[in-house]
Amino acid sequence: MKPRRIILMGLRRSGKSSIQKVVFYKMPPNETLFLESTARLTQEHISSFIDFSVWDFPGQVDVFDAAFDFESIFIQVGALIFVIDAQDDYLDALARLHVTVARVVAINPNICIEVFIHKVDGLSDEFKIDTQRDIQQRTQDELADIGLENVPISFHLTSIFDHSIFEAFSRVIQKLIPQLPTLENLLNIFCANSLVEKAYVFDVLSKIYIATDSSPVDVQSYEICSDFIDVILDIGSIYGGARENHSERHPDALDETSSIIRLSNDLVLVLREMNQYLALVCIIRADNFKKSGLIEYNVQCLQAAIQSLFSAKS
Amino acid sequence: MSKSSFSSKPAITYSKVAATYSSRTQKPIFDYQDWALQTQGSVNSLSPSPDFTKFAIAGRELLEILALNPNPTRTPIRIKNFSSGNTHEKNTSCNDVKWGNTFSENYLFTCSPLGDLNVWDIDSSQNISKFTDHSRAIHSIDISKFHSSYVLTASQDGLTKLWDFREPHSAQTFRGNSEAARDVAFSPSEINEFVVAYDNGTVQKWDLRYSKSPSLKLSAHNGVALCIDYTPNGSLLASCGRDKSIRIWDISNNQRKAFSTINTIAPVNLVRWEPSEANNATCRLASSSLVGDDTINLWDVPRPYIPHRSLNHHENNVTALQWISPNVLLSSSRDGVLSQSRPNDAISYIDLMPSSAVSWSTNGLIAFSSNSKKSFNSRPQVHRTPSRESNISSLKTALHAKQEPHLSKQNSGNFSELSSSQDNIQLSTASLFHNTCHQFVQLAKSYQLAGEISTACQQNAKLACHFGAYEAQAMWDFLFFSSLSPSHREHFLSMDDYEFSLSDENHSISTKNKSEKSQHSSAESEALSDDFFESLLSSSSLSSSILSVDYEDNLDKAVSQSLNQRTELGTSTNSRKDGIPSFQGGRNSISSLHFFDSVASNVSAHSQYDMPNSLHQGSITSASNKSRDYGTSLGSLSNRTSIFHEQFSFGAEEQPPTDLMDVVTSSIVQCIDESDVQTGASVYLLFSAFPINIPRPQLDDLIDSYVGLLRRMGMFCEASYVVKHSSQVVKYKYSANRDLSFGYRSNSKAFTKNVYSKLERCCFCELPLNGIITSCHGCGHLGHESCLRDWFFNESAEEGLLCPVPGCGQVCLG
């Protein structure tokens, strides 16, 4: 089982702290402008349904300095996220990336290396893809030169001003969840049998999706679902009852939070809390929502399955 | 996997819901549709048999074979239903279906969202084998054309597996390291080649014999790459993805850059090339979208901006596309409607677009393109589509109507006719205002904008006449007269006695002469006015000779015409601009224009002549054309003097000349009204020392736009000069950006040649200018950016501030 520690690395001012603040602390993206540069290593423990910790390495700290015990750090890391500022000259960042990859892979060959080509919001579509191609090509060539052709590196174009950073994080975290194939199959069956267009299992706190069915994720549906969660959380915090006893409840107790929104374009959004941290959000066409009782039944089956899936593993 | 306990129960209950759908035919709504069929549940995929007589459809709890009716307009008949009898088996849910070929012709291959690959015997309707090596959903399968037992599967687990369906396990595994594999396709031309599209947007080309790494890796899309398809001859590959684009790749030459990109309005989930009879013909591409857009678009690759045909008969997202033959397309949508259509009869937005365009350049060139390509339709066009021919013809008439007035005004403009050929696209340029442009450039270079006012006016009037700017010439003439000292005017006043006799004679002549003759003479007078002010200073000494002048017919004519001309030039400028050759009578038009005060008095005098309006028209419109021919042939000194004398005796007789400043103000106002930036700005610059009764910002705008025009024409020196002599505001504006402005010079020589002809060389290295060129704001000299940088930054302190042009002496960097 992979350790669920995530390390954020990158040159200084590449946006690591901003990513962390936006994804895990709901900071509005434009406020990240005022973040001060991180002076020392910060370690955040994200208490969500899976426990993962994000280590934010300040860009100016050399991880491979003798002062750090990098071997013991990286042996426990599940994913290394390397952030590259796409609006800046990225050659320095690439050089740093190549060194880092070489060192890290030697320590921990199973680590997932994810490159976030960050701050792409200012770039045109054509330029984005060119930048990605260039970075990918250089990395591939460079690593081939040092004999690491087959190190799996994933590249993501991200920006904190839209949902791309959430999607990229989702994909990273999904790689750290061993139950993902099962979860995905459950969702596939659920979607097929309930005529659901698209179903996501969200981590409510971070709006990262833990799993989805295997049909392609389109940006619109993801955005509307994550906005849906925001709406529910906001309304819940205004009108909902106190939730202090939430964490003290029996972990197997089913949560009753649910919401249904019928949109004007004949789509129905259904949200159903799966457990303390997870919520199922699915999009159904209004035509297929006529037998809502059946869908409700299917959701309950899915909920039970997810509960048993995670309780058995843990 | 803990799915079994959960999944079976809802599957049973929900299948009842699905069963309420019945397989029924729908009436085709669109006339390009052959038939439409409502199937049970949603069709995820369809695959034709190798002989294209049957096809298989697959979806949730659906796997059927339908036989196409020999009559294409009849609905197909269901001949096999694999899911009957084993409805509740999970593996009947299919993501993709492929019909085998040659040796495997009798088999159907399906894949399920649970990661199973199933092989079905078509004759017995039995599932003969099931492969479960993939741990996650299989999205796509493909059968090799060459080894008919080879099957490739692309799965959510990121692996692509090669199977020989006679063997129990997969033969090869290709690990793309790029998240989930969405689509896989064998090359139709290379035996061992196949291509996989991945969730992270890459498209990878693999060799069957080498499973370690792909032979080509393309960063194709931003976000998920959803579908790939080879052209029938295998030379090109189309890929599409969530980033709303379709990219065409020259896959056979291992090009890493897309050969062409088609941007659409919605994420694209399917692309399919149309088969073509000719093997090498570049064919059309059908695409459909994942969400949001229910239309099927056909794209002509050379024209990526607008779909060639659009089929919008589906009311839900399209889930499968398959060409049966050229111009026969099978499609299915998520609501279970299956349909066959003939795209060539569908609506074509290209035909609805205006196919011609017109554009102007700053140099007075007009460019237009027209496309008279025949419609692609072989069948009668859909009735709601307006024909292209009507568009073209209406545009043509519009073009002609617009341009004829210009043509009549300026004979020298060489305007190439719109071609009437119906088969080719053509781009033509016509130079309508070449002369105007030339005139502008020349005048900008030679106008005298400082110095003694009356001589400058005189000089400018001469220049204006020389270059054919008669309106400007009239303006300068009046300014010249207005700027004369009172003693000169007094002198002319003393010559009143000749005036009446003159006017009488004029009157009689003008009424009896033919209009043609008057035109000639007016042209002469026009040319004369070029020089006649030169004689002004000597006029007093020559006054005696005036008395002895023998008034020839045409000279008298010239006198009267020169007067009329003068008073009406204001209107003629207007008419030139509008292209309406009609004067509503000299008097009205002049007074409405608020020409000069002195003009108003002239009008009253002018009315004595009782000149027919038609005469004015003819003379004015022809004057500009003919003046050059007649200009130099006529005119003795004495004649000129007499004309001059007469001219001003009118003004002096009825009303004393108005104050110079009023004249200047009104002339600038008139220039502004007529958008004659050059004359207005020049007048203003010459008289800038005087208090002009026009709001400051208006004047600054005038200068500003003149500077802008000069810069556009590449006359940086002149522009700098104007700025230097203008108000503080303008100076501040242009001096505020102290840094040198860099600009790329375009390579379109046809348009810039005449403008840049004088500026072709760098002021520093004397080499022809290309690449980055810049000019300094101080003196406006042009040069290579690198040369100027060398000069300004490497020279010693004192020298480095000076302009590099010898003798310029301008301190460029203050």
pLDDT grade for B414, boundaries at 50, 70 and 90: very low
Contact B581, B575 (CB under 8 A): yes
pLDDT grade for B63, boundaries at 50, 70 and 90: confident
Q: Are A290 and A204 found together in one domain?
A: yes
Whether residue A181 and residue B135 make contact (CB cut-off 8 A), yes or no, is yes
pLDDT grade for B230, boundaries at 50, 70 and 90: very high
Average pLDDT of span B768-790 = 69
Is pLDDT above 70 for B623? no
* Closest listed residue to residue B153, CA positions, set B129, B133, B168: B133
Contact B202, B217 (CB under 8 A): yes
pLDDT grade for B593, boundaries at 50, 70 and 90: very low
Residue at token pair 């960097």? B813
Average pLDDT of span A7-28 = 83
pLDDT at position B321 is 92
Q: Are A187 and A128 found together in one domain?
A: no
**Residues B3, B567: Cα–Cα separation, whole Å:** 98
A301: closest CA of chain B, how far (Å): 6
More confident residue, B786 or B669: B669
Distance set, CA B107 to CA B82, B99, B150, B409 (Å): 12, 6, 12, 79
Is pLDDT above 70 for B559? no
Instruction: Residue A84: give its domain's CATH number.
Output: 3.40.50.300
pLDDT at position B248 is 92
Q: Are A141 and A10 found together in one domain?
A: yes
Whether residue A188 and residue B113 make contact (CB cut-off 8 A), yes or no, is yes
* Closest CB to A192 among B5, B113, B261: B113
**Residues B654, B195: Cα–Cα separation, whole Å:** 94
Contact B430, B406 (CB under 8 A): no
pLDDT grade for A90, boundaries at 50, 70 and 90: confident
pLDDT grade for B68, boundaries at 50, 70 and 90: confident
Q: Are A113 and A35 found together in one domain?
A: yes
Lowest pLDDT segment from A189-198, A260-269, B233-242, B349-358:
B349-358
- Kindly report the three-state secondary structure assignment for every residue of B58-77: EECCEEEEEECCCCCCCCCE
Cα–Cα–Cα angle for B364, B366, B368, nearest 5°? 170
pLDDT at position A68 is 65
Whether residue A154 and residue B179 make contact (CB cut-off 8 A), yes or no, is yes
pLDDT at position A219 is 84
pLDDT at position B309 is 87
Average pLDDT of span B496-508 = 40
pLDDT at position B795 is 60
**Residues B563, B231: Cα–Cα separation, whole Å:** 77
Q: How many domains does chain A have?
A: 2
Q: Are A135 and A192 found together in one domain?
A: no
Is pLDDT above 90 for B197? yes
**Residue ending a domain, choose from A128, A155, A174:** A174
* Closest listed residue to residue B321, CA positions, set B284, B276, B269, B272: B272
Contact B57, B45 (CB under 8 A): yes
Q: Are A138 and A240 found together in one domain?
A: no
Residues 6+ apart with CB under 8 A from B7: A186, A189, A193, B90
Considering A242-256, B94-108, B607-621, the range whose residues carry the highest mean pLDDT is B94-108
pLDDT at position B86 is 54
| B518, containing H or E segment | helix B515-532
* Closest listed residue to residue A129, CA positions, set B374, B654, B68, B245: B245
Contact B56, B97 (CB under 8 A): yes
* Closest listed residue to residue A118, CA positions, set A94, A147, A87: A87
Q: What number of other Cβ atoms are within 10 A of residue A56's Cβ?
A: 22
* Closest CB to B267 among A193, A218, A304: A218
* Closest listed residue to residue A118, CA positions, set A72, A48, A78, A165: A165
**Residue ending a domain, choose from A174, A207, A231:** A174
Please tell me what DSSP assigns to residue B768: B
**Residues B199, B139: Cα–Cα separation, whole Å:** 11
Lowest pLDDT segment from A73-82, B483-492, B718-727:
B483-492
Average pLDDT, chain B: 67
Q: Are A186 and A119 found together in one domain?
A: no
Q: Are A215 and A254 found together in one domain?
A: yes
pLDDT at position B809 is 66
Q: Are A152 and A214 found together in one domain?
A: no
Instruction: Residue A192: give its domain's CATH number.
Output: 3.30.450.190
B512 class by beta-carbon count within 10 Å (0-12 exposed, 13-18 middle, 19+ buried): exposed
pLDDT at position B780 is 66
More confident residue, B461 or A56: B461
Residue at token pair 């684009």? B245
**Residue ending a domain, choose from A154, A174, A194:** A174
- Domain of A246, in residue numbers: 180-313
Average pLDDT of span B335-339 = 87
Average pLDDT of span B546-560 = 42
B136: closest CA of chain A, how far (Å): 6
A window 185-214, beta carbon within 8 A of B: 185-186, 188-190, 192-195, 213-214
More confident residue, A98 or B437: A98
**Residues B139, B115: Cα–Cα separation, whole Å:** 9
Is pLDDT above 70 for B578? no
Dihedral of CA atoms A96, A102, A106, A107 in degrees, nearest 10, equals 10
What are the backbone dihedrals phi and psi of residue A47, each rounded to the nearest 5 degrees, phi first?
-90, 95
pLDDT of A152-184, one tens digit each?
A: 888 888 999 888 898 898 888 888 888 888 899
More confident residue, B554 or B71: B71
pLDDT at position B670 is 83
Average pLDDT of span A70-83 = 82
pLDDT at position B247 is 92
Percent of chain B with pLDDT over 70: 55
Is pLDDT above 50 for B345? yes
pLDDT at position B382 is 33
pLDDT of A218-235, one tens digit each?
A: 888 888 998 898 888 888
A291: closest CA of chain B, how far (Å): 8
Residues 6+ apart with CB under 8 A from B372: B355, B388, B389, B392, B421, B422, B423, B424
Q: Are A300 and A201 found together in one domain?
A: yes
Q: Are A15 and A145 found together in one domain?
A: yes
Q: Which of B1, B4, B14 has the highest number of chain A CBs within 10 A, making it the mutation to test binding with A?
A: B14
User: CB pairs under 8 A, 24+ apart, for B494-500?
Assistant: B495/B543, B495/B546, B495/B645, B495/B649, B496/B649, B496/B652, B496/B653, B498/B546, B498/B547, B498/B642, B498/B645, B498/B646, B498/B649, B499/B645, B499/B646, B499/B649, B499/B650, B499/B653
B83: closest CA of chain A, how far (Å): 16
Q: Are A124 and A96 found together in one domain?
A: yes
Secondary structure class of A267 (helix, strand, coil): strand
